[in-house]
């Protein structure tokens, strides 16, 4: 369906801005973590920011066996008890393969079981064999497109981990020299084993709490929500007239080429 929309836009037909509103699942592990205050603050903030753009939010302690009904899943668990086992990785592989949008939270090197499971999932998805560094970086630069629509150029992490490369994706934030970074994004088409899905991940929990490096951290969180929403537009659903619209789009493109 994304291909169809691209054709229609090129032909000047049925082209409109991406819709971000949709059903969102936030998985926070509130019944497992010992850092209750951190989990509560980030959940409250993330829910409010999603609802501000029209999203409908469901909150769950744990990963559900069926997440197909959600346009986006925000797994903000960061502690070692929330390491993604083989069953969880397969749920996320299937979800992304079917066009879902996923955010995964990691942390610094005190939480390596969780971090290693994220690295394993990225490799399973075809995003590359990324490495980890306990960089504990403070200020990192924010890369486009995550510098907007809410203006932000840098973020000061409280105590982050770092990916040593961005694999087939792109940096969300990194050191100035690009040698490593706390955030990586895999847009639609960049995960070779889940081409229809979009994955974003950051190795720091504190930036999402609306307590550290405000307003930069809030701007970055808002831009992440905007990015994932644009990648997995919930209006991209099959319609009865798909074949007809596809034919019209192709015809319009051919007509333009014949007049060129």
Q: Report pLDDT digits (tens) over 169-215.
A: 999 999 999 999 999 999 999 999 999 999 999 999 999 999 999 99
Q: Are residues 147 and 99 in the same domain?
A: yes
Token representation of residue 61 = 């302690």
Distance of alpha carbon 172 from alpha carbon 221, whole angstroms: 11
Q: Where are the beta strands (DSSP E) in 79-237?
A: 101-105, 132-133, 139-142, 154-156, 162-163, 170-174, 183-186, 198-202
Residue 243 structural domain: 1-18+238-260
Q: Are residues 14 and 133 in the same domain?
A: no
Collapsed DSSP state (helix, strand, coil) of residue 101: strand
Q: Which pLDDT score is estimated for 233? A: 75
Q: Which pLDDT score is estimated for 259? A: 45
Q: Which pLDDT score is estimated for 14? A: 34
Q: Are residues 82 and 41 in the same domain?
A: yes
Q: Which pLDDT score is estimated for 76? A: 98
Q: Which pLDDT score is estimated for 20? A: 55
Q: Are residues 92 and 153 in the same domain?
A: yes
Q: Are residues 245 and 166 in the same domain?
A: no
The helix or strand, by DSSP H or E, that contains position 191, with its residue range, turns out to be none
Report the number of distinct structural domains present in the chain.
2
Q: Which pLDDT score is estimated for 152? A: 98
Q: Are residues 147 and 244 in the same domain?
A: no
Distance of alpha carbon 205 from alpha carbon 106, whole angstroms: 7
Q: Which pLDDT score is estimated for 21? A: 72
Q: Which pLDDT score is estimated for 45? A: 98
Q: Are residues 197 and 249 in the same domain?
A: no
Q: Are residues 7 and 38 in the same domain?
A: no
Pairing of strands 56-60, 23-27: parallel
Q: Are residues 165 and 259 in the same domain?
A: no
Q: What is the pLDDT along the chain (260 residues), one digit of tens a residue?
A: 444 333 333 333 333 334 457 999 999 999 988 899 999 999 999 999 999 999 999 999 999 999 999 999 999 999 999 999 999 999 999 999 999 999 999 999 999 999 999 999 999 999 999 999 999 989 999 999 999 999 999 999 999 999 999 999 999 999 999 999 999 999 999 999 999 999 999 999 999 999 999 999 999 999 999 999 999 975 543 333 333 343 344 444 444 444 44
Token representation of residue 172 = 């969300």
Contact present, 70 and 23 (Cβ < 8 Å)? yes
Q: Are residues 216 and 202 in the same domain?
A: yes
- For the domain that residue 202 is a member of, what is the CATH number? 3.40.50.880
Q: Are residues 13 and 125 in the same domain?
A: no
Cβ neighbors of 17 (< 8 A, separation 6 or more) are none
Q: Are residues 10 and 137 in the same domain?
A: no
Distance of alpha carbon 114 from alpha carbon 98, whole angstroms: 24
């Amino acid at each position: 369906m994304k291909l169809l929309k691209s054709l229609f836009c090129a032909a000047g037909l049925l082209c409109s801005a991406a819709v971000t509103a949709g059903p969102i699942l936030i998985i926070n592990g509130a019944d497992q973590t010992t850092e209750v205050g951190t989990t509560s603050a980030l959940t409250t903030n993330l829910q409010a920011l999603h609802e501000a753009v029209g999203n409908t939010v469901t909150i769950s302690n744990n990963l559900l066996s069926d997440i197909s009904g959600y346009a986006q899943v925000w797994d903000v668990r960061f502690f070692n008890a929330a390491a993604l086992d083989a069953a969880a990785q397969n749920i996320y592989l299937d979800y992304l393969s079917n066009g879902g949008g996923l955010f995964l939270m990691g942390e610094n090197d005190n939480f390596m079981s969780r971090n290693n499971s994220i690295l394993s999932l990225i490799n399973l998805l075809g995003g590359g064999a990324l490495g980890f560094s306990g960089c504990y970086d403070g200020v990192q630069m924010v890369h486009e497109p995550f510098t907007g629509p809410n203006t932000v150029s840098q973020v000061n992490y409280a105590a982050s981990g770092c990916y040593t490369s961005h694999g087939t994706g792109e940096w969300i934030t990194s050191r100035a020299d690009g040698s490593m970074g706390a955030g990586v994004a895999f847009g639609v088409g960049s995960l070779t084993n889940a081409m229809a899905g979009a994955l974003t991940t950051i190795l720091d929990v504190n930036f999402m709490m609306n307590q550290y490096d405000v307003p930069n951290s809030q701007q970055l969180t808002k831009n992440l929500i905007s990015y994932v929403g644009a990648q997995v537009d919930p209006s991209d659903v099959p319609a009865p007239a798909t074949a007809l619209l596809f034919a019209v789009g192709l015809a319009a493109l051919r007509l333009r080429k014949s007049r060129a």
